[in-house]
Structure 1
Amino acid sequence: MKKCFAGMLGILVILGGVLAGCGASSNNETGGNVSKSSMAFEYKTLTFDNYGREVTITAKPTKVLTLGPNTTELFVALGLTDFIIGNSLDNHSRGALPEYEGDYARIPELTYGSATREAVITSGADFIYGIDWEFGSEGLDEKELAGMGIPSYKNSASTMDDIYQEIRDIGQIFEIEVTAEQYVTKQQERIAAVQEKIKGKEPVKVLVYDSGGDGVFTAGKSNFETLLIEFAGGKNIFDDIADQQWTTVSYEEVLKRKPDVILIHDYDIPSLEQKISDIKNDPALSQLESVQNGNFVAISLESVLPGNRMAYTVETLAKGFYPELFD
């Protein structure tokens, strides 16, 4: 028995040595791969140029605030709903697109209107993706938030390349690069299909009507909406106001430019119906042929903000501008 045991022990020792040798050889050949595999679980620090402001992300966020219905719905569209712990500005929303309603409804509301400093800093958030007007002199202080360990990425696109880059950056931050790139590609394909359909058509002259009062509150050249109008075959009649995203213009100036279509923003107050009534009963605007013919196109405000709806909005506007092409 002792001899058998000794023999067996010797065999085990030899086998152990052989296996150890094989293991060592394997590690030497693929040591880099093993190292990379183990490092795949480590989050690489990311630095972004966010419209002239450097944003550094050192860890994958898990508690996100999305400030603005457009930023919230973009997260939903990219499959990131479960990361959101609060959103803002639902007062500027007419609700999510049908395919996103269920997920959007699960998101807690941080504030109905603009986010407040107190609500943000007590939320427990570790990342903010917010529309630009939620920051600045009348909003949140990005430097202060960063000092509290809450990095913020501003949604401030004025070109398609801008918003596509925002989507790609979000893809990097949340390690869904493929999903983000596929989303960008799909948007580009849908917009290209609309442009093919309206090719050769004379641009429709469009007045953006957000609200009335002492004049018409409308969109200037640098407004993202102006770009969407152009992709849909229209021309913002105030695209010569280059230095402002939003501006108030006189009724007299509107009459001079004779818009073919009145593009009305639909959000909570006043209602779309009230805005149309105000336009029809306005002494100046009622003189427009487009008003007399009822050439109104309605769009929810979040649909003309940079986010996930670029293709949807171009499709919607094109149908309103050229209904005969889409019957």
Structure 2
Amino acid sequence: MRSSRLITAIAVACVLGTTACGAEVQEAPKNASGESVTVTNCGAPLTVDGVPERVVTNDTGITEMMLALGLADRLVGYTSYPGKERDIATSPWRADFERVPPLGDAFTREVVQAAAPDFVFAGWNYGFKESTGLTPDWVRSIGAVPYQLTEACRQPGTKRRGVMEPLDALYTDLTNLGEIFGVRDEADELISRYRDQVAAAADGAPAGQEPARVFLFDSATPEPFTSGRTAAPSQIIREAGGTNIFDDLNDSWTTTSWEAAAQRDPQAIVIVDYGAGPENSVQAKIDHLRAQPLMAGTTAVRENNIIALPYAALVESPRNPQAVVTVADFLRSKGY
């Protein structure tokens, strides 16, 4: 979602065992005869020869996609951000995280290369950056396949991100991973369940009234960092029966202004909970909103219509459908 912090990387490379917590874990099925699979990734064909066996991921939401598909045994490590412990503690795949080696808080060339991957799953501003030199082209140069997070695909000719509806991006990535790793049936089952979950939440929205105006508050540096139309929160809010006040911005995670946020008078606010440092705590962000002169007068702040969700629930991840349910329940509780 955001630029990576400059933190000393710890490179770890190891192969996981096949059992955890007393449960027997079966090896993920392979493509027939290890044949090549071609999928479309960020608008271009991506061919993978055989089933990847040494996967490195960046970010908790991306890692959870692999875990949701039962592919923990393919992961040789993941990187994330300071505070990821909050994500892991709330993760439905917490036990799987305990089996996968953490590679530190910095997604760097050194960390990736030390893990000797054959497949690297990240996204633009979710690890891939020209400024660090860790790009899909560099991943290819070390003999690995780069897979790009669909939510973070760049719009042609620009650095704006997002080329489809955010939940469609999730379903696309699950389908592609299912093809690549030979678990397409599992992917299809997940997608069907997620679609039903989202539809049920959307059906609960009250009829005959305007959707609640919702502001996604990530951070302030010093202007607010928020979600445009192509980031996951915008569709999460919409399916929950609200409307993202910055849905008109044709970008994913982006910076706007306090003036613009206040003028749109949000009736509810969703805070991104990073769990990293006192300035990133939920209470610190609530205090910031109350102290911000323009925001203090908005309906959401006056009436304390504020909810926080973990970071991994609000970036593209298999937690998105449950996030729709959580936000929908919150809006209903506030009369929206």
In 1, the alpha carbon distance for the partners of 2:190 and 2:226 equals: 30
Which aligned pairs between 1:263-278 and structure 2 lie closer than 5 A?
263-267=270-274, 268-269=276-277, 270-278=280-288
Cα deviation for residue 265 of structure 1 reads: 0.7
Q: Specify the alignment match of 1:227 in structure 2.
A: 235
Higher relative contact order (CA 8 A, sep 6+): 2
| C-alpha displacement of 1:246 | 2.6
- Whether 2:290 is the aligned partner of 1:310: answer no
Distance in 1 (alpha carbons) for counterparts of 2:218 and 2:193:
29
**Map of 2:18 onto structure 1:** none
Deviation at 1:98, TM superposition (A): 4.8
Q: Distance in 1 between the 2:33 and 2:320 partners?
A: 34
Q: Who wins on radius of gyration, i.e. which is larger?
A: 1
Q: Which residue of 2 aligns with 1:23?
A: none
Note the 1:279-294 alignment, pairs <5 A: 279-294=289-304
**Cα distance change of structure 1 residues 240 and 46 upon mapping to structure 2, 3 Å threshold:** same
After TM superposition, give the deviation of residue 153 of structure 1 in Å: 0.7
Match of 2:203 among 184, 196, 203: 196
Is the 8 Å Cα contact of residues 69 and 92 (structure 1) preserved in structure 2? no
The structural deviation recorded for 1:41 is 4.8
Q: Which residue of 1 aligns with 2:117?
A: 125
1:36-185 equivalences under 5 Å are 41-91=32-82, 93=84, 94-96=86-88, 97-112=90-105, 114-133=106-125, 134-139=127-132, 140-157=134-151, 158-159=164-165, 160-185=167-192
CA shift in 2, pair 1:230/1:130, >3 Å: same
1:18 paired residue number: none
Change (3 A) 1:198 1:145: same
- The aligned amino acid for 1:99 is P
What percent of counterpart residues are identical?
27
Instruction: Provide the TM-score with structure 1 as the length reference.
Output: 0.82
| 5+ residue gaps, structure 2 | 1-29, 152-163
Cα separation, partners in 2 of 1:199 and 1:78, compared to 1, 3 Å: farther
Letter in structure 1 aligned against 2:210: E
Q: What amino acid is the match of 2:135?
A: D
The TM-score normalised by the length of structure 2 is 0.80
Distance 1:227 1:177, change over 3 A: same
**Normalized per residue, which structure has more helix?**
1
The one-letter code matched in structure 2 to 1:203 is P
1:299 has 2:309 as partner: yes
2: distance between equivalents of 1:247 and 1:125?
Answer: 31
Q: Distance in 1 between matches of 2:87 and 2:335?
A: 28
Per the alignment, do residues 168 and 92 of structure 1 end up closer, same or farther by CA in structure 2, a change over 3 Å counting? farther
Do the aligned residues in 2 keep the contact of 1:92 with 1:302 (CA within 8 Å)? Answer: no
Tell me, yes or no, if structure 1 residue 252 matches structure 2 residue 245.
no
For each residue in 1:36-62, what CA deviation from the matched residue of structure 2 results, as whole angstroms up to 9, or x when unmatched?
xxx975111112221123322102111
Paired AA for residue 329 in structure 2: K
Q: Which runs of 4+ in 1 moved over 4 A?
A: none
Shifted more, 119-128 versus 88-97: the winner is 88-97
CA distance in 1, matches of 2:325, 2:77: 30
TM-aligned CA deviation for residue 111 of structure 1: 2.4
> Offset at 1:209?
0.8
Aligned partner of 1:7 in structure 2 is none
Task: For structure 1, list consecutive stretches of 5 or more residues without a partner in the other structure.
Answer: 1-38
Equivalent residue pairs, number: 286
